[in-house]
Chain A
Amino acid sequence: MSVIEELAREFGRLPGVGPKTAQRLVYHLLKSSPDDGRRLAGAIREAMERIRPCGRCGNFAEAELCDVCASGRRDEDVVCVVEEAFEVAAVERTGSYRGLYHVLGGHLSPLDGIGPDELNVAQLLERVRAPESRIRELILATSAGVEGEATAVYLEGLFRPLGLRVTRLARGIPVGSDLEYVDGSTLAEALSGRREM
């Protein structure tokens, strides 16, 4: 396989990139200055080598802890539980949330063999039970589809008996939509209008 073909194949594995777009990206890079290509390659390498899950919440992190966990200026009473790390950025963009996060890494789906052990549930329990924990509320921001709802019901059953306040994002977020695609003000409203489960 030629170098060009190999690069096109790699681009083609990215989501939303078909074979034609992959070709276009390769030709665009080959036409631009070698520095541009090196910068892109460098940025990809840096990201892949340096980004890892935050040791506490599972968010993207460049150090042991992510920016949110390391900040020291966040409200440590409340934890917003999301399915995927990229959803943290969506909530952050609202600018209206000052608490911490916990990334589950997906939702319950017995059909796919995904139970609580396959998600970061034990880590959340550990955080809540830690002697220094100040967590008093969990905001469950799992997806609005059937699996996300079932995951929320499961977490509620697990954490409410521990004396936590457990809330769910207010309705108004379209069923089945990912947080990523919900606009900032809608999400901010859903956060402030969150309800006891």
Chain B
Amino acid sequence: MRLSELSLRHFRNLGVQDLQIPEEGLALVGENAHGKSNLLEAIYYLETLRSFRGARDDQLVAFGQDVFRIVGTMEDARGSDATLRVAAAFQRAGRRKKVTLSGDEPPRLGDALGHLGAVIFSPADIAVVNDGPSERRRFLDIVLSLNTDGYLEALQRYRHVLAQRNAALRENRGQSMVRIWDRHLVEFGARVVEGRRRWLRDRGPLFSRYYAEVSGGPAATLEYRPGFALEGATDGEEVETALCRALEASSSREFRTGTTVVGPHRDEVRFYLEGERELDVREFGSGGQRRTVALALRLAEAATIREVRGREPVILLDDVFAELDAGRSERILDLMEREETGQVILTAPKESDVRFRSDALPRWHIRCGQIEA
């Protein structure tokens, strides 16, 4: 898919604007704090129905307004006539979110996710390496929710059962009141684990290759550290058995702490630098190496969209090369020029910062939220 039209109403400082997006994409140039990232945030909102910067919906409504609305028209890049219009609106009063697909409200909000097929690269991505394990789980959850059937449902149900089970543990009314939640916890938990494990296994080699190409040196690898002993389980049923055992084994610790201590909510992903000794990037990696891990993860996400949906992802680049050294940014530009043939929408503070497809991308400018083509 590519985005052909974007209509904005009171999303952050972007006011009322109707934009025709060029087929190849565009480079949006503007000083900081004028709203460059807000445009990417609005576009990516149509993909995940939330802010990629972690802002709450009510924070996205322009000051003094009650409702924001974003409508994107998407066309199949392969020239078919089929277009899809995704409209997302949020009303501050009553905290109501409404999403329609070409005019129809989908039965579940989850059905409205992932229609654009976009990946966003942002300086904030570094958090996936630097921050705690929940950031890494969040990365996996978003990629898998958008690209794997049934993952989002399993994840939501897992979280729901987990909350019930933890409440039962806190009530401390004995084993039987806790165990009654285990069947579903194990069923949905195993589906979450299977999704994450498969993605990390299938995309791991690609991640390593991307890392090596961007760093210009040795590769990095990623490793799945599930939040319980998998005991060599190789399919969903064996994962269920392993989770069951782990729950039984942790029973006394659960009652002591009043919370479920094993399961995918405790999953972790580790990144290692290859070499004579494997070094954990989080412990020993330089700033450049950490940024490269984050970039390689996004590139692997783009590859997932390409494979799962059979079309080029829309690439959103939020001033990402600013913080990379010259060598790394040259190499990632090379890599992306080779891999990406789809639509690219990027932001940069100055004309001279637009290096990606610099000849091909039309320059747009933004000032105080007003975009000029």
Q: Which residues of A contact B (CB under 8 A)?
A: 108-111, 115-116, 146-147, 149-151, 153-154, 157
CB distance A111 to B173 under 8 Å? Answer: no
Which stretch from B17-25, B39-47, B158-166, B240-248 is at the chain A interface?
Answer: B158-166
A108-B180 in contact (CB<8A)? yes
Closest to B178 in A: A110
B168 CB–A CB distance under 8 Å:
yes
Nearest CB to that of B181 among chain A residues?
A150
Contact of A115 with B171 in the complex, beta carbons under 8 Å: yes
Task: Enumerate chain A residues within 8 angstroms of B164, measured Cβ to Cβ.
Answer: 109-111, 146-147, 150
Q: Does the CB pair A110–B177 fall under 8 Å?
A: yes
Asked whether A153 and B173 contact (CB < 8 A) given A111-B163, A111-B167, A147-B164, the answer is no
Q: Report yes or no: B180 in contact with A150, Cβ–Cβ below 8 A.
A: yes
B contact residues around A154 at 8 Å (CB): 176-177, 180
Closest to A147 in B: B164
Contact A110 B167 (CB under 8 A): yes
Pick the 7 closest A-B CB pairs, nearest first: A110-B167, A110-B168, A153-B180, A150-B180, A111-B167, A154-B180, A146-B184
The complex places the Cα of A111 from the Cα of B184 at a distance, in Å, of 16
B355 interface residue, CB < 8 Å from A? no
| Minimum CB–CB distance for A116 against chain B, Å | 8
Residues of chain A within 8 A (CB-CB) of B167 are 110-111
Give A71 to B177 CA distance when docked, in angstroms: 36
B183 interfacial by beta-carbon distance below 8 Å: yes
Give complex CA distance A154, B173 in Å.
13
Q: Is the CB of B180 within 8 A of A146?
A: no
Q: A115-B171, A146-B184, A154-B176 are known contacts; what are 10 more A-B pairs with Cβ within 8 Å?
A: A108-B177, A110-B171, A110-B177, A111-B163, A116-B177, A146-B161, A149-B184, A150-B180, A150-B181, A153-B179
B363 interfacial contact with A, CB 8 Å = no
Measured CB to CB, the nearest residue on chain B to A149 is B184
Q: How far is the CA of A116 from the CA of B165 in the complex (A)?
A: 15
Q: Please tell me if B157 contacts chain A, counting CB pairs below 8 Å.
A: yes
- CB contact list, B4-32 vs A, under 8 A: none
Q: Tell me, in angstroms, the Cα distance from A147 to B163 when the chains sit together.
A: 12
Which residues in A have their C-beta under 8 angstroms from that of B163?
A: 111
CB neighbours of A109 from chain B (8 A): 164
Known contacts A110-B164, A146-B157, A150-B164; decide if A157 and B180 are in contact (CB<8 Å). yes
Query: A149–B161 Cα gap in the complex (Å)?
Result: 11
Bound form: Cα–Cα A108–B171 in Å: 13
CA distance A108 to B165 in the complex (A): 11
Assuming the contacts A110-B171, A147-B164, A150-B164, asked whether A157 and B176 have C-beta atoms less than 8 A apart, the reply is yes
A146 to B161, CA, bound (A): 7
Tell me if A146 and B171 are in contact (CB < 8 A).
no
Complex CA distance for A54 and B183, rounded to whole angstroms: 34
A112 to chain B, nearest CB (A): 9
Give the shortest distance, in Å, between A148 (CB) and chain B (any CB): 11
Contact partners of A115 in chain B: CB under 8 A = 171, 173, 177
